[in-house]
Chains A and B, each alone.
Chain A
Amino acid sequence: MDEKDLLILQLLEENSSVSVDELSVMVEIPARDVECRIGDLEGAQVIRKYSAVIDWERAGKGEVWAIIELKVNPERDFGYDRIAERISKFKQVRSLRLITGTYDFQLLVTGKNMQEVARFVSEHIAPMDRIRETATHIIMKNYKENGNTLCGHEGTERIPYSF
């Protein structure tokens, strides 16, 4: 992995639909070279998949998002891994992390409405073996997502010229 690879990754993370030709100009290497490098990065699972960041609220498909925290009894020989795998298989679970502090897992969960999220937690997550305690936090407003500020404005208007 060299500087060119890192720049390709950075540019793809920002906009995964950028063309190979454009990448070639931006990164200052031939298009064929770009293709090879992307192929290698995909092969090595450095690039996991290409996706879009969608504002579902604007798409008229508003969803409820919640952060669920779990206290978990780890399993002999496997620690947290097997239970994490089970939980992560639910499509409602959008992310799952092992964390330090009072709780062990932190989940990001979506549902059509609050009832759906509550039902999911009480029917599927809380009753699982090894789950000792849950805490559900409904997300009220997103201010920043994936490094992008979603509200307010940055900076002031610039004058249109200077020498």
Chain B
Amino acid sequence: MRNFISKNAEAIPPSGIRKFFDLALTMADVISLGVGEPDFTTPWNVCEAGIYSIEQGTTSYTSNRGLQELRDSLSEYLKNHYALRYDANREMIITSGVSEALDIAIRAVIDPGDEALVTEPIYVSYAPCVTLAGGIPVPVPCHEKDHFRLTPDALMEKVSKRSKVLILNFPNNPTGAVMKRDDLKAIADIVIDHDLLVISDEVYAELTYEGSHVAPATIDGLWERTITLNGFSKAYAMTGWRIGYLCAPEPICDAALKIHQYVMLCAPVMGQIAANSAIRNGEDEKDKMVTEYRVRRNLFVHDLNRIGLPCHVPEGAFYAFPSVTSTGLSDFEFAEQLLKEERVAVVPGTVFGDAAKGHLRCAYAVSRKDLKEAVTRIERFMSGLRT
């Protein structure tokens, strides 16, 4: 029999630490800082809107672009919150989560052989999506000394004639790094000079703690060459509803829409109705969650530094990214031993690219009580290392 697996599918790496975490599933009393989703449940008024829509029999397809009401609300919301201007009818698609939005964005613009510059450390799906589209992901390292922001020097080092796309994800998973307006301006010049397109995943935009989020498409000269991706999962604790969106200039949006209509048709209607309710009535609940994340971040990062795991203050998202190099263990060894000995699950940085080596991703989207207990256990684990 032939090998039926495509070259593309073979080329993408499997999740290397899956086996390691399957162990966590079998253990009792594990505190998991490994989960990249809010510990809150979706605000009840949002759930209620979804439930009501099902009761009313609203269980059909929607238009490919998504519900008109939701797109109208989003267009208004993006303008008011981020000064982003996208037309609800021509420049926006509602997707099944940002994951789908990312996939169709990449497939709409990448041809075989095109290089996509991907900042590192970064969430695991970007590079494989580029590979699946026939492109070549080129990592651009972001360093701890720069608080994991993308610098013009790092970008200049990797940009080439084959570069077509720059993928950004700020606030960043896994580092919590944020790009300020000046940081983005410095990058914009290079993007324009090299005629690149930016794909900006801003799913953590609402979780920006110091100042407010700056969308790359609001930088002079970038709107026409940017695809903005966002969604409801993180800010409104709606991970399971799978609602995201893609915004882009019309020709790019039309290309992505063709892919979306063939592979997804539309995002689930009840999710879209719930998302519209989140935008219209969920602001207070969202603000409360954001305040709570900030309080947890302050406590957790303070404690990590106190017990000897140096950690910069992440300005966004809900991840702390401490360094473990001073312990003499690799991030993988540290995470594995910590899980086995003290039952605390964290994600080794290496998973997020070479630039993340020696770090751990710790999601502080868990209760303050659990965070405190996790710190006690990590501290005990570390004092065991010293003896």
Contacts and interface: CB of A to CB of B under 8 A. Distances in A.
A52 interface: no
A50 interface: no
A163 B123 contact: yes
Given A11-B295, A26-B295, A163-B124, A158 B302 contact: no
Contacts of A27: 295, 298
A107 B251 CA distance: 65
B51 interface: no
Interface in B1-36: 15, 21, 24-25, 30, 32, 34-36
Interface string B283-307: 0000000010001001100100000
Nearest to B18: A161
Interface in B341-370: 345, 347, 351-352
B37 interface: yes
Contact of B34 (A22, A25, A160): A160
Nearest to B352: A163
A2 interface: no
A40 B65 CA distance: 54
Contacts of A10: 291
B35 A28 contact: no
B39 interface: yes
Interface residues of B, number: 24
Given A155-B41, A162-B37, A163-B125, 9 more contacts: A7-B295, A25-B299, A154-B41, A160-B34, A160-B35, A161-B24, A161-B34, A161-B347, A163-B352
A6 to B, nearest CB: 9
Interface of B: 15, 21, 24-25, 30, 32, 34-37, 39, 41, 123-125, 291, 295, 298-299, 302, 345, 347, 351-352
B25 A160 contact: yes
B37 A158 contact: yes
A87 to B, nearest CB: 35
Nearest to B37: A162
Contacts of B351: 163
A159 B34 CA distance: 9
15 contacts: A7-B291, A10-B291, A22-B299, A26-B295, A26-B299, A27-B298, A28-B298, A155-B41, A158-B32, A159-B35, A160-B35, A161-B32, A161-B34, A162-B34, A163-B125
Nearest to A25: B302
A43 B125 CA distance: 54
Nearest to B124: A163
A31 B24 CA distance: 39
A73 to B, nearest CB: 40
A49 to B, nearest CB: 23
Contacts of B347: 161, 163
A160 B41 contact: no
A155 to B, nearest CB: 4
B302 A163 contact: no
Nearest to A10: B291
**Which 7 pairs from chain A and chain B are nearest by CB?**
A161-B34, A160-B32, A155-B41, A160-B24, A161-B21, A26-B295, A163-B124
A159 B37 CA distance: 10
Nearest to B40: A155
A163 B34 CA distance: 8
Contacts of A162: 34-37
Nearest to A162: B36
Contacts of B123: 163
Contacts of A7: 291, 295
A161 B37 CA distance: 9
